[in-house]
Structure 1
Amino acid sequence: MKKGLIFAVILILIIGIPVLKKYRGTDKTKAVEVQQVSMKTIKASILASGQLKHEHQVKLTAEVIGKISRLYVKEGDTVKKGQLVLEIDDQTFVAAVEQQKAAVDQQKVSIERHKLVVMNVAKQLKRKRELYKQKLIGEDEYDTINHQYKVSEIDLKGGYELLKQIEARLEQSNEQLSKTKIESPIDGVITSLDIKEGETAISGTTNIVGSGLMTIADPNSMLAEVNVDEADIAQVSIGQKAEIIAIAFADHPIIGIVESIASSAKAAPGRGTLSFAVKLNIESSDAIKLLPGMSCRAEVFTQGEQNLLAIPIKAIKTDEDNDEDTVENYVFIFEAGVAKKVTVKTGISDDTFQHIIEGLEIGASVITGPDKIIRHLKDGDSVEIAEASSSDEDEDD
């Protein structure tokens, strides 16, 4: 009996102590970080991400079918405009040109024959006309020679038309032959080489692009193409400044200018929302070597600097009312050891601070963290200011 009682007490202690700790823990005051509402210098901006690209680049494609017989460049080579970069086997095209040249020569000979026929028939017609006037031949005989003359003229005219057609085919064959020698259309660098000697290049059609041969780009014409969310695109305009950060050079921000804005939206990569492609011209990047395809993010400044009542962006939380399809922003303020939920109306923001239009007054202590606590904080929770709180810091931009 005694042993059973001891066992029951031990069991109660094992189960009860953790439960007691759990319930006592829920009443524990939460240590939070706070920061006072103050005037901050805000430069309104929107954030976007994308890739670096060459502004001036061309992708060479095949315009005729044939094997690559000579390749004069490799990836990374610098080329000049008009420089020969590759050749396609031209034997078939040379043969076609020679065949059309022979056809032209043959048709010219045929035309000369027709000229002689016309001249001969013209002489006969002239003689027959005189005889007809003198009533020495009948009308039928005169009409016959007159008809022969008209037919010979038609044949000669047809010969000239056929010559034009053959010459057009010769010109086309020469053009096809010229397309076997591919030259660089710009000064630049070979950024990609998509074919090798011996491989067959396929020409394009109306609906199908020909074989990609290589890409040539001007290395001095780098830009950033970023995807701006459709909710932000109305704030973006040509000429606005931007700060661009290539992921590979996170400590070297680059200045850019909005150069162009897409006129239509497209599905944002990896998301269900729509975005607009915005091109940012890079003003200078001498300190770092930017490469096409590098990921980047950009902060586009949509307004000038303003001194406004503001709090850290991380302090703002959002309530979504699905019934009314509305979004309500709120913060928690520290007031006499209690977290008080306050609805706020927000204005412009930068990447750190959010302008508060309504809901807070200067000097109020806004709870800014830690995130693991503020995420589950409720109106009326007991709180205390953590020793390392940022309330005593005054971060002015």
Structure 2
Amino acid sequence: MKRFFIGLTIVIILGLFVGTGYFLYQKSEEPPIIYETDTPFKTDIIKKTIATGSIVPRKEVALKSQVSGVVEKLYLEEGAQVKIGDLVAKIKIIPNVVALNNAQAQLQTAKINFDNSEKELKRQKELFDEKVISEFDYNQFLLDFNLRKQEVEAAENNLELIKEGSSQKTGNVSNLVRSTVNGMILDIPVKEGTFIIESNTFNEGTSIASVADMSEMIFEGKVDESEVGKINVGMDLSLSVGAIEGVIFNAKLEFISPKGESDEGAIKFDIKAAVDLKEEYFLRAGYSATADIILQKASDVLAIKESNLIFEGDDIFVEVRTGEQQFERRQVKTGLSDGINIQIAEGLTEEEVIKKL
């Protein structure tokens, strides 16, 4: 019995040794490496640069008043379509006290001179009828009378213009703001009751409204100095508008600024492009947009992922599958790249399989 237990103990110990050895052997063996593969494919490769900016009308005009005063009435709202001459606002003139007093004094002086001239003309007319003075002398007093009469009319018109912004003689109404172009009212920055300043030689004046032709829009953006040398006027742009997802608008580059400006530490150049509008979409002024400027394009070419290339000096290689998990290195010639896909000009066919790196 004792021998039986001894033998059983020996068997168990041997089994433990054998099991431990097998476990350690299995653990020491490296698992086989399985390489992932990829295949060449046909695609379009586009090399492009990106410009950020906004959509704005090509022509936008600010309407200003010819007189200072208070906005008495606004006749239209933002979004309204207007034509040349349409009434937009009426300005209530608040006369300048000094100018008003001067105009009243000038009118009073002109009336006094006119009355004196009229009396003198009547007296000289009697003398002329009695042949006491010559016709030449009489005409001098008649001329003075007409001049004094004209001074009174001019003073009255001047006073009326200062008080009302218009005169009966000229019929011009300077306190009415009318549209000078055809288009849409984009913005009315003032409200009824707002005090405004007239536009003149020395002052830009207060804007009453801005009007633009929304049928002709352009993209205004900026391009980094590292890319501006690669673009030219006439290039095609693809615009992605932030407010209209999934829709691409075509545009044609028509202006590149000859002078760059510093923007957050980088030199950037302004560009402009004419936008090809779509009838089903309304582009509002100020929409942010991103422009893809196509520098080069290759259509329907054989390509692979650029990450699958092996670079050694000036040579470029890929690893082509020759058997099950067997690959050989092969030199290839590449073409256009968009940063993700790269054109394979020579060295591969569409049917071959390459190692994925």
- Spell out the pairing of 1:1-397 with structure 2 (5 A cutoff): 34-36=38-40, 41-62=44-65, 64-92=67-95, 96=99, 100=103, 103=106, 106=109, 110=113, 170=158, 177=165, 179-203=174-198, 209-268=204-263, 271-303=264-296, 305=298, 311-312=304-305, 333-334=318-319, 349-350=337-338, 353-354=341-342, 362-363=347-348, 385=356
- For residue 105 of structure 1, report the CA deviation from its aligned partner: 7.8
Query: What is the rounded CA distance, in whole Å, between the counterparts of 2:199 and 2:308 in structure 1?
Result: 57
Residues 66, 362 of structure 1: alpha-carbon distance in 2 compared, 3 angstrom cutoff: farther
- For residue 201 of structure 1, report the CA deviation from its aligned partner: 1.8
- For residue 251 of structure 1, report the CA deviation from its aligned partner: 2.4
Mapped contact 1:45–1:350 kept (Cα < 8 A): yes
Query: What is the rounded CA distance, in whole Å, between the counterparts of 1:338 and 1:230 in structure 2?
Result: 47
- For residue 71 of structure 1, report the CA deviation from its aligned partner: 0.9
Mapped contact 1:49–1:298 kept (Cα < 8 A): yes
Query: What is the rounded CA distance, in whole Å, between the counterparts of 2:215 and 2:101 in structure 1?
Result: 44
Letter in 2 for 1:274: I
- For residue 42 of structure 1, report the CA deviation from its aligned partner: 4.2
Query: What is the rounded CA distance, in whole Å, between the counterparts of 1:244 and 1:312 in structure 2?
Result: 26
- For residue 300 of structure 1, report the CA deviation from its aligned partner: 2.1
- For residue 215 of structure 1, report the CA deviation from its aligned partner: 1.8
Counting helix residues as a fraction of each chain, which structure ranks higher? 1
Query: What is the rounded CA distance, in whole Å, between the counterparts of 2:32 and 2:277 in structure 1?
Result: 55
- For residue 214 of structure 1, report the CA deviation from its aligned partner: 2.1
- For residue 103 of structure 1, report the CA deviation from its aligned partner: 2.2
Query: What is the rounded CA distance, in whole Å, between the counterparts of 1:345 and 1:82 in structure 2?
Result: 66
Query: What is the rounded CA distance, in whole Å, between the counterparts of 1:223 and 1:282 in structure 2?
Result: 5
- TM-score normalised by L of structure 2: 0.59
Query: What is the rounded CA distance, in whole Å, between the counterparts of 2:82 and 2:60 in structure 1?
Result: 13
Mapped contact 1:312–1:352 kept (Cα < 8 A): yes
Letter in 2 for 1:77: A
Letter in 1 for 2:259: S
Structure 1: unaligned runs, 5 residues or longer:
1-23, 121-155, 319-327, 366-382, 387-397
- For residue 199 of structure 1, report the CA deviation from its aligned partner: 1.7
Mapped contact 1:48–1:227 kept (Cα < 8 A): yes
Query: What is the rounded CA distance, in whole Å, between the counterparts of 2:261 and 2:292 in structure 1?
Result: 20
Residues 316, 221 of structure 1: alpha-carbon distance in 2 compared, 3 angstrom cutoff: farther
Letter in 2 for 1:297: T
Secondary structure of the corresponding residue to residue 226 of structure 2: coil
Counting matched residue pairs gives 287
- Greater mean deviation of Cα atoms: 96-105 or 41-50: 96-105
Secondary structure of the corresponding residue to residue 293 of structure 1: coil
Deviations 1:116-141 (A, max 9, x none): 9xxx9xxxxxxxxxxxxxxxxxxxxx
Deviations 1:210-253 (A, max 9, x none): 43332211121122222222211122222222222222333222
Residue in 2 aligned with 1:323? none
Structure 2: unaligned runs, 5 residues or longer:
1-28, 125-143, 166-172
- TM-score normalised by L of structure 1: 0.54
- For residue 351 of structure 1, report the CA deviation from its aligned partner: 7.8
- For residue 72 of structure 1, report the CA deviation from its aligned partner: 0.8
- For residue 69 of structure 1, report the CA deviation from its aligned partner: 0.8
Query: What is the rounded CA distance, in whole Å, between the counterparts of 2:63 and 2:310 in structure 1?
Result: 52
Letter in 1 for 2:276: E
Determine what percentage of the aligned residue pairs are the same residue: 22
Residues 353, 93 of structure 1: alpha-carbon distance in 2 compared, 3 angstrom cutoff: farther
Residues 246, 216 of structure 1: alpha-carbon distance in 2 compared, 3 angstrom cutoff: same
Query: What is the rounded CA distance, in whole Å, between the counterparts of 2:96 and 2:32 in structure 1?
Result: 88
Letter in 2 for 1:272: G
Query: What is the rounded CA distance, in whole Å, between the counterparts of 1:317 and 1:28 in structure 2?
Result: 23
Residues 207, 308 of structure 1: alpha-carbon distance in 2 compared, 3 angstrom cutoff: farther
Q: Which has the larger radius of gyration?
A: 2
Secondary structure of the corresponding residue to residue 95 of structure 2: helix
Residue in 1 aligned with 2:136? none
Mapped contact 1:29–1:384 kept (Cα < 8 A): no
Residue in 2 aligned with 1:140? none
Mapped contact 1:68–1:200 kept (Cα < 8 A): yes
